[in-house]
Amino acid sequence: MEKLYIGVDLGGTNIAAGIVDLNGNIYCKKSVRTNLPKPEAELEQDIYNLCKSLCEENGYDISNDIISVGIGSPGSVDGKRGIVWSNVNFGYENWRIKENLEKLFGISVYVENDANAAIIAEVMAGNAKGCDNALIVTLGTGVGGGAFLNGQIYAGYNYAGLEVGHIVIEKDGRLCNCGRKGCFERYASASALTRDTQAAMNAHPESLLWKLCPDIEKANAKIAFDAMEKGDKVATEVVNTYIEYLACGLVNLINIFQPEVVCLGGGVSNQQQALLDLLQPLIDKEDFARNARERTKIVIAKFRNDAGIIGAAMVGVNND
């Protein structure tokens, strides 16, 4: 029988759990509302109940069929000791989630920061499979990151590292929520691309963007790519500027880490090969090791919508 793991994507809005195999296939999944705020013990019981009913409804028995449970949590997480140090969504400090959940589950439980879980999934079964050195950069609401270095998760001394969205690439540039000016994520997140698209629409009533998206409030990170493909000049400029900033921040990360692979995740990465084709020439020009015999490859992350569940399950795989 396949080795099976439970992955739990612990979000502020929903808790999603799935039964996952070594290759990252999801056999079944289920979710419930998180319904915060609530005490830690109650949330732990919710997680257990969700996993228990997921198993029961699908004919699995936790103690006999599941090897371990992995939890992907936002916040700063000490994966080795299984403690969520702090998590602003939940309002917990020093949450001994591994210890507490192992009492409920009766099998091994592992926890990691969700971005770290995502790179573990790519390294274990995704598009960075087998790499000892790989990064994931997610282009979503913000720009997030996770790093697998020398064959291990790198989280930083205080488990708060890899805030790759908060490196300044344009000194005194756009004001960021973090208080700095010119952070990478102010230019390269899906939200930034959406805002820039909306600004271009307001400045250019003639743009095809309006045809694709008559309600400007509904603009997203996709329409500029769509309009560009149809030859719209305004959209082409929006995308090209976006790509320039994205390449700038990515080359910064490449020059620092020189990983074997950088996986791109998050909404913008849905553009897949079109995104890579635009990015690669700029990276080829600026990568400090562009003449080295081995170079970093930029790829799209394999795990998409269920990346949270699969990543969490792979935290368990990685620890087994």
User: DSSP letter string over 222-269?
Assistant: THHHHHHHTT-HHHHHHHHHHHHHHHHHHHHHHHHH--SEEEEESGGG
Tell me which residues touch a copy of itself (CB under 8 A). Answer: 76, 85-86, 131-133, 145, 149-150, 152, 154-164, 166-171, 173, 178-180, 245, 248, 251-253, 255-260, 285-286, 288-289, 292-296
The dihedral through the CA atoms of 79, 85, 146, 255 has a sign that is: negative
Minimum Å gap between C-beta 166 and a copy of itself is 5
Q: Which is nearer to a copy of itself, 62 or 115 (CB)?
A: 115
User: DSSP letter string over 24-64?
Assistant: --EEEEEEEE--SS--HHHHHHHHHHHHHHHHHHTT--HHH
Q: Which is nearer to a copy of itself, 41 or 289 (CB)?
A: 289
Helices (H), 258-306: 272-286
Minimum Å gap between C-beta 112 and a copy of itself is 14
Is there a contact between 177 and 164 (Cβ–Cβ < 8 Å)?
no
> Could you tell me which residues are beta bridge partners of residue 15?
10, 32
Minimum Å gap between C-beta 137 and a copy of itself is 11
Minimum Å gap between C-beta 231 and a copy of itself is 27
Q: Which is nearer to a copy of itself, 154 or 220 (CB)?
A: 154
- From CA 288, how far away is CA 293, in angstroms rounded? 12
Q: Which is nearer to a copy of itself, 274 or 292 (CB)?
A: 292
β-pairing, 108-113 vs 134-139, is: unpaired
Minimum Å gap between C-beta 191 and a copy of itself is 18
Minimum Å gap between C-beta 161 and a copy of itself is 4
- From CA 295, how far away is CA 195, in angstroms rounded? 33
Q: Which is nearer to a copy of itself, 65 or 170 (CB)?
A: 170
Q: Which is nearer to a copy of itself, 81 or 230 (CB)?
A: 81
Minimum Å gap between C-beta 55 and a copy of itself is 35
Q: How far is CA 176 from CA 4, 142, 166, 252, 265, in A?
A: 42, 10, 8, 19, 21
The sheet that has 14-21: what strands, in order across it? 26-33, 14-21, 4-10, 66-73, 108-113
Q: Which is nearer to a copy of itself, 23 or 94 (CB)?
A: 94
Q: Which is nearer to a copy of itself, 199 or 292 (CB)?
A: 292
Continuous segment of H or E residues that includes residue 114: helix 114-125
Minimum Å gap between C-beta 182 and a copy of itself is 8
Q: Which is nearer to a copy of itself, 102 or 154 (CB)?
A: 154
Minimum Å gap between C-beta 195 and a copy of itself is 18
The dihedral through the CA atoms of 189, 194, 197, 199 has a sign that is: negative
- From CA 253, how far away is CA 53, in angstroms rounded? 42
SS3 156: coil
